[in-house]
Amino acid sequence: MSRPAEFLPLSDAAVRAVAGTNSRHAALIEDAFGVLMETPGGGVSLDGDARARAAAKRAVQAIAARADEGLEIGEADVRVAIGQARSGQPGEGGARSGGLPVGRRGQVAPKTPGQARYLAALGDCELTFGLGPAGTGKTFLAVAHGAGMLLRGDVERLVVCRPAVEAGERLGFLPGDLSEKVDPYMAPIWEALNDILGADQLRRRREKGEIEVVPLAFMRGRTLSHAFIIVDEAQNASRLQMKMVLTRLGEGARMAVTGDPSQIDLLNAADSGLAHAVRLLEGVKGVAVARFTAEDVVRHPLVERIVRAYEAEAEAAPKGRRA
């Protein structure tokens, strides 16, 4: 027999976040734990068996804590809170965001324990590798961390580079000047910067040379001092390119290298420099390796299921036939 419904007193902001628009968040929590959730005023009421109520309570409290910190709560945040509540993992949120900036959608903060560990590594180490599938926030959080350092004056420049490698296509000749030719490859970076800094500040800092987004090949011969450098899509850097870019670090510089080793677009996948660099450098003083899994995916929930399906196929395939 279940006990009477349990009432959790919450702030108005937390109640709105837990309920969600048109009670969408409440429906996700109810479906996940088999409970009935109501918002009678001043908090939420949970009805169901004791174990289900306890798990739902953990999810509600995690969502409420983030809302009370002024963070925007979306479906991705609710699903992460549900997953953590099911596994008994503690929530890790904005209180440990390490001075990340406030973006257009509110304070940037980690949404999963894996993201929190990644941000801690970015703060502690001169060189951090972020490895994992799409949708885990590898690039966005690195950009946010670098933007935060730039805004605080911890670095003088934010430099982002990525290989200009086409994903299984051949686009041929692209018209326009150099910026117009390379911008299609850099679009995800510009979108992240615009989301974090806003269009006006991004334009001003770009014009002053404080923010650069360049193809990886343009890093050769440079020494970057007092800068935060992000090497994105690093699985598409060759071994020679990886060595070249890793040795660009100058005085007061830090670097994040992000990529998905399962998504190599090079003609010869064995030439990818990401896994090679991690193998050589993991354990070296000042180097951290953060590995993400499908549990860290914070995009559409279908993305997590897609990632898991591909991972399952890769594990089942004979070694010689793996992509």
Expressed as residue numbers, the domain containing 47 is: 6-87
272 lies in some domain: yes
Same domain for 283 and 134: yes
* CATH code, domain with 26: 3.30.1370.10
Same domain for 110 and 53: no
Same domain for 143 and 73: no
Number of structural domains, the chain? 2
Q: Where are the alpha helices (DSSP H) in the chain?
A: 12-19, 24-33, 50-68, 75-87, 113-124, 138-152, 178-197, 199-207, 239-246, 273-281, 301-316
Q: pLDDT tens-digit profile of 124-138?
A: 999 999 999 888 989
**Cα(120)–Cα(114) distance, integer angstroms:** 10
Query: What per-residue confidence (pLDDT) applies to 89?
Result: 56
- pTM of the model as a whole: 0.68
76 lies in some domain: yes
Q: pLDDT tens-digit profile of 168-207?
A: 444 445 555 555 656 666 788 888 888 888 889 899 999 9
What is the DSSP track for 176-208?
Answer: SSHHHHHHHHHHHHHHHHHHHH-HHHHHHHHHT
Same domain for 143 and 70: no
Same domain for 264 and 223: yes
**Cα(260)–Cα(266) distance, integer angstroms:** 13
161 lies in some domain: yes
* CATH code, domain with 127: 3.40.50.300
Asked which of 25, 59, 87 is the last residue of a domain, the reply is: 87
Query: What per-residue confidence (pLDDT) applies to 166?
Result: 47
Asked which of 87, 119, 154 is the last residue of a domain, the reply is: 87
Asked which of 58, 87, 116 is the last residue of a domain, the reply is: 87
Same domain for 169 and 276: yes
Same domain for 59 and 185: no
Same domain for 104 and 54: no
**Cα(237)–Cα(273) distance, integer angstroms:** 6
67 lies in some domain: yes
Mark the ranges of the chain whose per-residue pLDDT is less than 70: 1-4, 87-99, 102-107, 165-185, 318-323
32 lies in some domain: yes
**Cα(237)–Cα(227) distance, integer angstroms:** 21
Same domain for 122 and 73: no
231 lies in some domain: yes
**Cα(234)–Cα(277) distance, integer angstroms:** 10
**Cα(273)–Cα(265) distance, integer angstroms:** 12
1 lies in some domain: no
Same domain for 305 and 179: yes
Q: Which of 239, 238, 139, 240 is nearest to 190 (CA)?
A: 139
φ/ψ region of 185 (left if φ > 0, alpha if ψ in -120 to 50, else beta) reads: alpha
* Structural tokens at position 16: 């709105």
115 lies in some domain: yes
* Structural tokens at position 139: 């690039």
Query: What per-residue confidence (pLDDT) applies to 94?
Result: 40
8 A C-beta contact, residue 106 and residue 72: yes
8 A C-beta contact, residue 107 and residue 120: no
Same domain for 289 and 174: yes
Same domain for 229 and 161: yes
